[in-house]
Amino acid sequence: MTPTTQSIQPLVEISFKPSPILNIGANFGPPLSLVNIRGDEHDSLQTDVLRGLLHEQKYLLPKYLYDQRGSELFEEITVLPEYYLTRAEQEILDNHASEIIHRAETEFWLIELGAGSGKKTRRLLQTIQELTVNYNGEISVKPHIRYMPIDISEEFLYESSLALQRDFPTIPMQPVCAEFLQGVEYIVERRNQEQPSAQLLIYFPGSTIGNLTREEASAFVLRLRSLLQPNDAFLLAADMNHTNGKNLHILHEAYNDADGITSAFNLNILHRINRELCTDIPLDAYKHCAYYNAGESRVELFVESTRYHSITIDNCTIPVAAGERIHTEFSHKFSEEMIRNMAALADFSLTATWTDSRKFFGLYWLCAC
Ligand code: AVI
């Protein structure tokens, strides 16, 4: 596939607040361009929904939770008092960003899986920017360091990268619109051609790895490792399971908040199907269901039917029993041991672990052996 590039115009007005000790000009910073290697292929909602509803244990693929409304609801989830994950990861970065960035080689490219516009990414970029201060207290562009976020949503990636480039003008940025591994493959090729000595540091934030099945997660880590070269690193964020003493109640509440935002997020998948496939799923017949399965170390999310009805899609009528559950998402949790083992199977070695003060969440430095 031929990459297309979209130039992001250099900025005339820059709305960052320069630190008093640093001398940053308003037009400072490299130009920014977005590479799109995603192509035109799009998901087939109808095929996927039909396949899932005809399965013995009915399911809907979790990626369909994230339409415009679903993404907005997820943003609301991240600030809920019960949803500790985002704050815990932020706490780790607030306390250890410098240590993390100093573990990297002098020449490195920070790759983020998911368009990072939020506080977590900013914390890392702030630390990198501090590295670029010279002895006169001025900062300069350091071409040996780059920030490259990968995301499938071109618009979101473009907007968030633009804001970051404005605020961190000394860090060269190259957003890549692609599936995660497709994007890493592209970046690896560029590294090999442009700066073979640069270390790749792949940051996978948010415990998003937990939304894959265990098999998918292992396959993902294995494939990622196969793309990397020795000494590249994988900075993996993962929510912890109950085996280090985390209360089961904490895990349950995080997905059953008092304001019903997680419920709205989960049930929104049915709204989306009705809207996009013109189906007539009776929304009032469903309720949110989420619980922690300690045996599997995961939260399981379903939408549960409260009465018998049927769903018709493409001339196919599917009965749904009262009490029947349709699976929508897994959120796997990990002990440090589970991370170490998954890493070892893929030829990564766990060389550093950072946790928040309550030991609810972990950030793991996995070095490609
Ligand atoms: C995106 N992901 C890490 C969230 C999680 O915690 O598994 C998705 C989520 N689903 C319900 N609440 C949050």
Query: Using one digit for the tens of pLDDT, what is the confidence trace for 32-79?
Result: 899 999 876 666 999 999 999 999 999 999 999 999 999 999 999 999
Q: pLDDT value at position 117? A: 75
Residues 299 and 276 in one domain: yes
Q: Residues 207, 322: one domain?
A: no
Query: In angstroms, rounded to a whole number, what is the distance separating the alpha carbons of residues 66 and 151?
Result: 13
- Judgement on whether residues 107 and 210 belong to the same structural domain of the protein: yes
**Statement to judge: residues 136 and 210 lie in one domain:** yes
Total domains in the chain come to: 2
CB proximity list for 367: less than 8 A, separation 6 or greater: 231, 233, 348, 349, 351
pLDDT at 130: 86
Block means of pLDDT (10 residues each) for the chain, length 369 residues? Answer: 40 28 39 86 86 98 95 96 98 97 95 89 93 66 86 92 93 95 98 97 98 98 98 98 97 98 98 96 98 98 98 96 98 98 98 98 97
Domain assignment of residue 102, yes or no: yes
- Is 240 found in the same domain as 275? no
In 3D space, the residue among 247, 173, 233, 225 whose CA is nearest the CA of residue 201 turns out to be 233
Contacts of 294 (CB under 8 A, 6+ apart): 241, 242, 248
N-term to C-term CA, the chain: 31
2 lies in some domain: no
Is residue 348 a contact partner of residue 367, using CB atoms and an 8 Å limit?
yes
**Residue 6 domain-assigned (yes or no):** no
Q: Is 279 left (phi over 0), alpha (psi -120 to 50) or beta?
A: beta
For residue 355, tell me if it sits in a domain. Answer: yes
Let me know whether 271 and 347 are in one domain.
no
The answer to whether residues 167 and 180 belong to one domain is: yes
Q: What is the pTM of this model?
A: 0.90
The two counts, helices (H) then strands (E), for the chain are 10, 14
331 CA: nearest ligand 1 atom: 7
> Phi-psi bin for 314: left (phi > 0), alpha (psi -120 to 50), beta?
left
Find where tokens 């368009």 sit: 115
Domain identity same for 219 and 191: yes
Residue 294 lies in a domain: yes
Whether residues 148 and 294 share a domain: the answer is no
Task: Report the nearest atom of ligand 1 relative to the CA of 74.
Answer: 13
Distance 331 CA to ligand 1 centre (A): 6
Q: Give the C-alpha separation, 273 to 51, whole Å.
A: 14
Same domain, 360 and 304: no
Q: Domain check: are 132 and 209 in the same one?
A: yes
Strands (E), the chain: 4-8, 32-36, 108-113, 145-151, 176-177, 199-204, 233-239, 286-293, 298-305, 309-313, 316-320, 325-332, 348-355, 361-368
* Structural domain contains residue 31: yes
C-beta separation of 176 from 114 below 8 A: no
- Domain at 168, CATH number: 3.40.50.150
- Residue ranges making up the domain that contains 238: 12-39+69-76+84-245+333-368
At residue 303, what are phi and psi to the nearest 5 degrees? -110, 130
Distance CA 337, CA 96 (A): 21
Polymer length in residues for the chain = 369
Q: Is 310 in the same domain as 263? A: yes
Q: Are strands 145-151 and 108-113 parallel, antiparallel or unpaired?
A: parallel
Q: Is residue 214 part of a domain?
A: yes
Angle at 153 (CA atoms; ends 218, 147), nearest 5 degrees: 75
Task: Answer whether residue 5 is part of any domain.
Answer: no
Of 209, 211, 300, best ligand 1 pocket probe by most atoms within 8 Å of the beta carbon: 211
- 207 Cβ closer than 6 Å to some ligand 1 atom: yes
State if residue 300 touches ligand 1 by the CB under 6 angstroms criterion.
no
Q: What does the block give as tokens for 199?
A: 């270390």
Test site for ligand 1: of 76, 78, 329, 361, most ligand atoms within 8 A of the Cβ: 329
Looking from the CA of residue 211, the nearest atom of ligand 1 is: 7
